[in-house]
Structure 1
Amino acid sequence: MKLHLIDRASAQHSSFTVSRHHYAHFLKIWHHHPELELVAIKKSTGTRFIGDSIEKFEEGEVVLIGKHLPHMWLNDDSYFEDGSQKVAEALAVHFTQDFLGQGWLSKPEMQSISKLFDLAEQGVKFIGLPPRTIDEIEGLLDLNGFDKALGFLKILNRLSRHPSYRLLSSSGFVNSFRKSDNENLDRIYEYIFKNFNTPIHSKDVAEVAHMNASAFSRFFKRVHRKTFTRYLNEIRVGYACKLLMENKNSVSSVCYESGFNNISNFNRQFKSIVGMSPSDYVRLHT
């Protein structure tokens, strides 16, 4: 899963872009870009990857992604079947932090939006937004000039004051990725996200990073403030949560599909990270 840098510079010389995506399935591209991105899912389901967060996504969700935060929406397998009539539809707004000019976020009236942009560095999923929010985002497609800018500013203001939200990626991932002029980190993340549900060990990743095992362990713990094993288990448990919420697999099959090699270790790691057993998690989400 190679990480791609996407150039989204506006050909229309607009301060931000609004687009509607309508595909048989979303593009399987693990990517990042210098713009923030506001995404509203109109149709489709699958798995959302943002930073080191792996979760199920559904129709109606709205997410704000910070600049250069890697992300990808991967549709369920049924979207890729021959003859599938399913569609994936989303709205996306791409904009730079200074799309209204240098210094606008420092104004007293903009403090809540400024804080929202800070939160977006980890990715923000808004919870319990009124349905009209997606209609308002879609309505930007029919506006131009000042009315379009004002409409988007109103949406940002409303989101910044919405009381219920959840941060997605860990601060450890964001802080390390922010420093990743280091090609080793890029290779490490690419390898982990491609292979997390297979039997991999720190020595495997150390080889990818062209480091010996002990040096890699010290490097990884210094960057993430946690061991590689803990980090890998968090990724696997996040994926397991997604599978359990889909309610398509038994706990035992989720264990192995997530990359764990025995049930007892899976149960122990799941409870350590989520705070409850996999069975309790299923009961809570069904």
Structure 2
Amino acid sequence: MKLHLLNRSSLGNNSLLIGKKSFPHFLKVWHYHPELELVIILESNGTRFIGDNIEPFSKGDIILIGKNLPHMWLNDKEYFEKDSMLKAKAISIHFNEHFAGEGFFNMPEMKSIKELINRAKYGIKFSGELKSVSKWIKSINNLGGFDKTIKFFKILHFLSEHKDYRLLSSSGFINSFEISGKKNLENVYEYIIKNFRENITLNDVAEVACMNPSAFSRFFKRVNRKTFSEYLNEVRVGYSCKLLMEAKSNISEICFESGFNNISNFNRQFKKTMKYSPTEYIKMHSKSEM
């Protein structure tokens, strides 16, 4: 799963690039771009990869992705079946952090939006009451240039004041992408995302990073503030959460599909990361859907 830089230079003379996507499935491309991206899922579900965060996505999700933050939307298997009639639909708004002019968001009146843009470097998932902002996003492309820009400021202001949100990617992952000359770490993250369900070892990723295992272990812990094994387990647990919520497999099957090699270790690592056992997590999720 190679990390791709996508060229959004087609923004041209427009401050915003607004696209309404409708495909049999989203493109399986692990990518990043210098623009921020605001996304609302109109239809479809699957797994969302943002930095080192792995979670399910579904209709109605609103996500803000910061500049140069790697991400991918991977639809469920049934979307790729030959006779599938399913559709993946979304609206995305790409914009440069200085689209309103250099220093514009330094004005006191724009403080909350500036803070929102700063938080976006982790990726943000918004929850709670979002009907009004969803309606604005869906209708923004019907407006003329001036009205479109004013409406987008209104959207950003709403999201900047909205308190029900969650940051997605870890600070360790973000910091490693902000450190110049760390191309090897980018390769490591790509390798982990692609192979976390397999039996990968410290030696494997150290080889990807072109470092000896001891040096890589120290380097990885210094950058991420956690060991490689802790990081790998958190990625696997994140993926298992998606499978548990889908309820298509039992806990034992999910354990092995997520990359763990025995149930006891899976239960231990899951509780360490999520503060609940897999069974408790299923019960909590079931209650939230009632």
TM-score between both structures, scaled by the size of structure 2: 0.97
Q: Distance in 1 between matches of 2:11 and 2:264?
A: 55
* 8 A contact 1:43–1:89 mirrored in 2: yes
* 8 A contact 1:10–1:16 mirrored in 2: no
Residues 178-231 of structure 1: CA deviation (Å, up to 9, x unaligned): 225322112111111110110001011111111111111111111111100000
Q: Which residue of 1 aligns with 2:258?
A: 258
Structure 2 SS opposite 1:240: helix
| Aligned pairs for 1:179-198 within 5 A | 179=179, 181-198=181-198
Residues 108-137 of structure 1: CA deviation (Å, up to 9, x unaligned): 110010111111110000001332322211
| Aligned pairs for 1:263-278 within 5 A | 263-278=263-278
Q: Which residue of 2 aligns with 1:157?
A: 157
Structure 1 SS opposite 2:146: helix
User: How many residues end up aligned between the 2 structures?
Assistant: 286
Residues 150-184 of structure 1: CA deviation (Å, up to 9, x unaligned): 01000100111111001110111111112253221
Structure 1 SS opposite 2:10: coil
Q: Distance in 2 between matches of 1:86 and 1:163?
A: 33
Q: Which residue of 2 aligns with 1:100?
A: 100
Structure 1 residue 102 displacement after superposition: 0.5
Q: Distance in 2 between matches of 1:15 and 1:64?
A: 17
Residue 63 in structure 1 maps to residue 63 in structure 2: yes
Q: Which residue of 2 aligns with 1:240?
A: 240
Residue type of the partner of 1:236?
A: R
Q: Mind listing any 5+ residue stretches in structure 1 that lack a counterpart? A: none
Q: Distance in 2 between matches of 1:223 and 1:19?
A: 36
* 8 A contact 1:255–1:266 mirrored in 2: yes
Please give the root-mean-square deviation of Cα atoms over the aligned residues, in Å: 0.9
Structure 1 residue 11 displacement after superposition: 4.8
* 8 A contact 2:255–2:262 mirrored in 1: yes
Structure 1 residue 12 displacement after superposition: 4.3
Q: Mind listing any 5+ residue stretches in structure 2 that lack a counterpart? A: none
Structure 2 SS opposite 1:163: coil
Q: Which residue of 2 aligns with 1:213?
A: 213
Residue type of the partner of 1:26?
A: F
Structure 1 SS opposite 2:9: coil
Residue type of the partner of 1:37?
A: E
Taking structure 1 as reference, are residues 67 and 11 closer, same or farther at Cα in structure 2, changes over 3 Å only? closer
Q: Distance in 2 between matches of 1:104 and 1:11?
A: 19
Q: Distance in 2 between matches of 1:10 and 1:109?
A: 30
